[in-house]
Amino acid sequence: MDKRYIDKILSKYNEPSGKLLGILEDIQEKEKYLSKEALKYVSEKIGVSFSQIYSIATFYSFFNLQPVGEHIISVCMGTACHVRGAVEILNNIQYLLGVGVDESTEDGKFFLTTEDKHFSVNTARCFGCCSMAPVVRIDDKIYGYVKIKDLPKILKEYGWGKK
């Protein structure tokens, strides 16, 4: 954790306690995830309790609480995507990447990272483009109408199966 960087982020917000989401977002952008140390530090600095900050960080699926792989794959589990086979898409991605099935963490967040830290997989609730269901997001790119047979091709764009 880079305290100086967090200080810089905090100084951007003139009333930090009301801007918590923005602060967390900025930290995640820099560090890719929110470490325990970072949350504690923010809590001390802006006077919002640690438990409250942790609560907010676990509420939004957007926030990662564990170190992440180089590419983040988010599989939408919203209603529209669910009925159009999101579960199978997720299962197949897990199969292709060789990451465990039932390994969600105690905070209830589903988050898996491959051993080589190349990919992380999580789930999300509706990206707002349900007409393209099922939807998968990799880093900042949205893939719609995803079919199971397309998955290897998509993953290859991010260096899957090179080794």
Between CA 71 and CA 24 the distance in angstroms is: 20
- Pick what 154 binds: other proteins, ligand FES, none; C-beta below 5 to 8 Å, kind-dependent: none
Min dist. Cβ of residue 132 to other proteins (A)? 24
Residue 115 engages other proteins in binding (rule: CB under 8 A)? no
Sheet strand arrangement including 111-113: 111-113, 119-124, 71-76, 136-138, 141-143
Residue 72 contacts which entry, other proteins, ligand FES, none (Cβ below 5-8 A, type-dependent): none
Give yes or no for residue 80 binding ligand FES (CB under 6 A).
Answer: yes
Which of the listed partners (other proteins, ligand FES, none) does 91 bind, with a CB threshold of 5 to 8 Å by partner kind? none
Binding mask 20-59 for ligand FES (x = CB under 6 A): ----------------------------------------
Per the rule left: phi > 0, alpha: psi between -120 and 50, beta: everything else, 141 is beta
Instruction: Write down how long the chain is.
Output: 163
Q: Which two tokens stand for residue 61?
A: 């699926």
Q: Give the helix ranges, DSSP H, for 13-163.
A: 20-31, 36-46, 50-59, 79-83, 86-97, 151-156
Rule CB under 6 A: which residues touch ligand FES?
A: 76, 78-81, 126-127, 129-130, 133, 135
Rule CB under 8 A: which residues touch other proteins?
A: 36, 39, 49-55, 58-59, 106-109
